[in-house]
């Protein structure tokens, strides 16, 4: 598998790096994780191509996340909040606007520049023990350490656990949300598996991973973002009372088999079936002379396309709103990425919706496509064609 976000020009096809994308489940700590992990520097660098602000819905989501944090978890008048992997500052901007003491920690230099332009204090660095020590020395302990779609990217969770334990105030909270294992298993959304998602967490695995650093779960809040996520709230053991959701969600995970290896074997069989059905559908459309394009060059699409071996012979191009991706080719299978405006010039017969997690937003803005007879190809939770 290539790096999911490594969109590339044609003259670099022969230098593309690949790794073995193999998820494994640990029965002892219930963690689903990638066995091989490309180095973080290969993924999060000066040209990182994901900007949170490209999705209006995600910006709204992060504003809501910040407001919820301030209302529910800040229990003194001058709180200090640190965000791990603050990207372009979409979450912290709410705090910046309210003059709340905040600091983003983000390794990709291009996204930190955007954050600073929006008034968000940002340190260009990886969140680790030296960074945590430096922040504590300069700003004091943090009342909240937050993250969104970042914790699952960090191979060395123990280092994060130690760094958070050092930086957090005694009653502080460590809050993060990431794509949720329960949703991935329920929906068959295997495209959540790519290099950046080293872990697909569950309440069981988070409790085990952070329990080692003297944290415990005090609340769990399911989220609709990224095709189904979970927000985990952790505090130092004994510091805060756990909400009822913790017990009920842990029980629900046991009934869904998220603590047992057989569940993942059944999942593998389902993925193989989904892959075969998608390839045969696209092959049939091609033989019928239909024009098929991809909609949104998501990181997740790299997994689907490479796992299924779908290239430019089956998908003419993929449209995407991110200027940095346009003019490049998709990793591994080399489908051209074109500006979003190409979608309607003229409309294709079929569009594979790779950003299925933004389906509501995209269907709302592409009504005209469907009105003119265009069809969406969906592959989550099952392969289907909708008009």
Give residues in contact with ligand TMP (CB under 6 A): 50, 54-55, 296-300, 320-322, 325, 340, 355, 358, 361-362
Shortest Cβ distance from residue 33 to ligand TMP (Å)?
20
Residue (152 or 362) nearer to ligand TMP, CB: 362
Write down the residue that tokens 């045969």 correspond to.
280
Shortest Cβ distance from residue 226 to ligand TMP (Å)?
7
Residue (184 or 362) nearer to ligand TMP, CB: 362
Residue (194 or 267) nearer to ligand TMP, CB: 194
Which helix (H) or strand (E) segment holds residue 122: the answer is strand 122-123
Shortest Cβ distance from residue 163 to ligand TMP (Å)?
26
The token duo for 107 is 């390794």
Residue (308 or 357) nearer to ligand TMP, CB: 357
Shortest Cβ distance from residue 159 to ligand TMP (Å)?
25
Q: What contacts 24+ positions apart, CB below 8 Å, involve 274-280?
A: 274/188, 274/190, 274/379, 274/382, 274/383, 275/307, 275/308, 277/382, 277/383, 278/304, 278/308, 278/310, 278/377, 278/379, 278/383, 279/308, 279/309, 279/310, 279/314
Shortest Cβ distance from residue 362 to ligand TMP (Å)?
5
Residue (274 or 299) nearer to ligand TMP, CB: 299
Shortest Cβ distance from residue 4 to ligand TMP (Å)?
7
CA torsion 230→236→238→240, rounded to 10°? -50
Shortest Cβ distance from residue 50 to ligand TMP (Å)?
6
Nearest 5°: phi and psi at 213? -110, 25
Residue (50 or 73) nearer to ligand TMP, CB: 50
- Strand 229-236 with 215-223, pairing: antiparallel
CA–CA gap between residue 67 and residue 94 (Å, rounded): 8
Asked if 302 and 275 touch (Cβ cutoff 8 Å), the reply is: no
- Strand 168-179 with 142-148, pairing: parallel
Residue (54 or 124) nearer to ligand TMP, CB: 54
List the strands of the sheet with 199-200, edge to edge: 23-25, 32-34, 199-200
């Amino acid at each position: 598998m290539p790096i999911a976000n490594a969109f590339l020009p044609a003259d670099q096809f022969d230098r593309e790096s690949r790794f073995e994308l193999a998820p494994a489940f640990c029965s002892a700590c219930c963690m689903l994780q990638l066995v091989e992990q490309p180095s973080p520097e290969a993924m999060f660098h000066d040209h990182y191509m994901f900007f949170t602000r490209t999705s209006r819905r995600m910006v709204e989501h992060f504003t809501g996340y910040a407001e919820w944090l301030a209302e529910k978890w800040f229990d003194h008048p001058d709180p200090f909040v640190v965000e791990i992997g603050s990207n372009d500052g979409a979450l912290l901007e709410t705090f910046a606007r309210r003059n709340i003491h905040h600091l983003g920690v983000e390794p990709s230099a291009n996204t930190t520049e955007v954050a600073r332009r929006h008034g968000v204090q940002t340190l260009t660095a990886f969140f680790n023990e030296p960074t945590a020590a430096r922040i504590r020395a300069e700003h004091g302990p943090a009342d909240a350490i937050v993250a969104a779609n970042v914790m699952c990217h960090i191979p060395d969770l123990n280092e994060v656990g130690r760094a958070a334990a050092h930086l957090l105030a005694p009653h502080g909270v460590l809050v993060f949300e990431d794509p949720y294992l329960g949703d991935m298993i329920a929906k068959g959304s295997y495209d959540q598996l790519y290099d950046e998602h080293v872990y697909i967490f569950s309440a069981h695995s988070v409790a085990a991973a952070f329990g080692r650093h003297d944290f415990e779960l005090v609340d769990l809040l399911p989220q609709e973002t990224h095709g189904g996520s979970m927000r985990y709230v952790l505090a130092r053991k004994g510091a805060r009372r756990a909400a009822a959701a913790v017990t009920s969600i842990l029980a629900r995970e046991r009934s869904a088999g998220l603590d047992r290896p057989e569940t993942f074997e059944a999942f593998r069989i389902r993925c193989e079936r989904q892959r075969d059905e998608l390839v045969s559908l696209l092959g049939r459309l091609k033989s019928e002379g239909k024009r098929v394009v991809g909609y949104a060059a998501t990181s997740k699409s790299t997994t689907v396309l490479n796992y299924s071996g779908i290239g430019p012979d089956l998908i003419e191009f993929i449209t995407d709103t991110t200027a940095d991706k346009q003019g490049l080719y998709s990793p591994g299978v080399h489908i051209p990425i074109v500006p979003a405006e190409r979608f309607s010039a003229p409309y294709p017969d079929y569009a594979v919706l790779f950003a299925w997690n933004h389906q509501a937003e995209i269907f709302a803005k592409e009504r005209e496509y469907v009105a003119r007879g265009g069809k969406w190809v969906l592959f989550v939770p099952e392969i289907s064609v909708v008009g």
